[in-house]
Amino acid sequence: MSDLIGYLITGLGIGAGFALVASGLVAIYRVTRVVNFAQGGFAVLAALLTSTLLAAGLPHGVAELGGVALGALAGLIVGVVAIGRPGTSPGTSLIVTLGLGVLAYAVEVLIWGDQPRSFPGLTGVAEVAGARLPAHYLLILAVTAPVFALMAWFFARTDLGRALTACASNRYAAQVVGIDVRRMGLLAFTIGGALGGLAGVLTTPVQQVTFDSDVTLIVNGFAAAVLGGLTRPMIALAGGLLLGVTQTLVAGYGGGAYQMEVALVLMLTVMIVQAARTGPVPETAR
């Protein structure tokens, strides 16, 4: 029983990381219709910078904020390149973000090398209902929950958030009432970058990061986001947590080797079922 609780909380912690990556994907996709392949790269960049800042003697908190800020900046840069040129179609933008993801490899290897890195998070062991687990997992959950609450408030209650939501639901109408759709797209990319960065900063103390960890992150994030059709952040949160818990349970009770396949097969099944239900995806007007 205490094993189960331990696996559940560990899984939620890992899943929170996926959920943050997924919500970044959703934030960007809703506004711009671009699936941002570089989303995992934000997490890696933020985590690597945080490890450097901590090693340089900056206190916890400041270093992590620096990492998230770099994620946001990287998000803005990706946004400028991917949607900055007028008339770039979402499909083209996807390929551009793919290229930017590879470019991030060059930058990361150049600055930080190709060896795995980590940094200490919240040290110590927590005891929950008889299960002993690293306390850092609780910290991940304690940060992720308010972030999602804040996002829900931001998108529903603030003018800026409402403008973003307006772009998401109808670009043309948003333009007509005077919202700068391109600027909103760039803002969405910046938010997505910050969320990706937060995921990297939070999960690196329990999972080492290398320059190519972004593939795992983006695939799991996409799997979580695709549950809600890439447009609903709360379903992405649920999807991420579900993926994390399932993977930890599979690793804990089954063989540890097959946890990646769980996410992948789930993602394929969801997409195929969705496609079968809606029929061929409607063509976008050109």
Partner 1 sequence: MSGPVPPARGRGGTVNRWAIAVVAVLTLALPPLLPERHLATFVLLLLAATVTVGVSLLMGYAGQVSLGQASFYAIGAYAAALPAVHGVPSLLGLALAPVAAAVAAVLLGAPLLRLRGHHLAFATLAVQLILLSLLAQADWAGGAIGLQGIPRLTVLGVELRDLGYAYAAWLVLAAALLIARNIVDSRPGRALRAAATSETAAAASGVAIGRHRLAVFTLSAAMAGLAGGVYAFYLGYLSPGSFPVLLSIEFVVMAVVGGLGTIAGPVVGATVIILLVQVLNTLGTQPGMPDYAPSVLSYAVYAVLLIVCVLYLPRGLVPALRRTGRRPS
Amino acid at 106: A
Candidates 52-60, 178-186, 240-248, 252-260 — which segment interacts with partner 1 by CB under 8 A? 252-260
- Please tell me the distance from the alpha carbon of residue 243 to that of residue 117, in angstroms, as a whole number: 24
Beta bridge partners of 209: 117
Beta pairing partners, 117: 209
Site string for partner 1, 21-40 (x = CB under 8 A): --------------x-----
Residues in the chain: 286
Whichever of 57 and 87 has its CB closer to partner 1, that residue is: 87
Give the residue, chosen from 5, 69, 98, 126, that forms a contact with partner 1 under the rule CB under 8 A.
Answer: 98
- The answer to the question of residue 160 lying near partner 1 (CB under 8 A) is no
Rule CB under 8 A: choose which of 114, 118, 145, 153 binds partner 1. 114
Report the alpha-carbon distance of residue 26 to residue 196 in Å, rounded.
Answer: 11
| Closest CB to partner 1 among residues 253, 258 | 258
The per-residue b/e assignment along 39-57, b for 16 or more CB within 10 angstroms, e otherwise, is bbbbbbbbbbbbbbbbeee
CB closer to partner 1, 178 vs 282: 282
CA count, 13 A, side-chain hemisphere, 72: 10
CB 178 within 8 A of CB 3: no
Q: Is 1 in the site for partner 1 (CB under 8 A)?
A: no
C-alpha angle 12-195-267 in degrees, rounded to nearest 5 = 55
Total residues in contact with partner 1, by rule CB under 8 A: 44
String of b and e for 86-116 (b: at least 16 CB within 10 Å)? eeeeeeebbebbeebbeebeeebeeebeeee
- Residue 96 binds partner 1, judged by CB under 8 A: yes
Q: Which stretch binds partner 1 (CB under 8 A): 58-66, 160-168, 241-249, 257-265?
A: 257-265
Strand partners, 125: 134
Which of 131, 179, 219, 234 touches partner 1 (CB under 8 A)? Answer: 219
According to the binding rule CB under 8 A, does residue 18 interact with partner 1? Answer: no
Give residue 190's identity as a one-letter amino acid code.
T
Interface with partner 1 includes 234 (CB under 8 A)?
no
CA dist., res. 82 & res. 87, Å (int):
11
Nearer to partner 1, 205 or 240 (CB): 240
- Nearer to partner 1 among residue 56 and residue 110 (C-beta): 110
Residue nearer to partner 1 on the CB measure, 89 or 169: 89
Which positions lie near partner 1, rule CB under 8 A?
35, 81, 85, 87-89, 91-92, 94-96, 98-103, 105-106, 109-110, 113-114, 212, 215, 219, 222, 226, 257-258, 260-261, 264-265, 267-268, 271-272, 275-276, 280-281, 283, 286
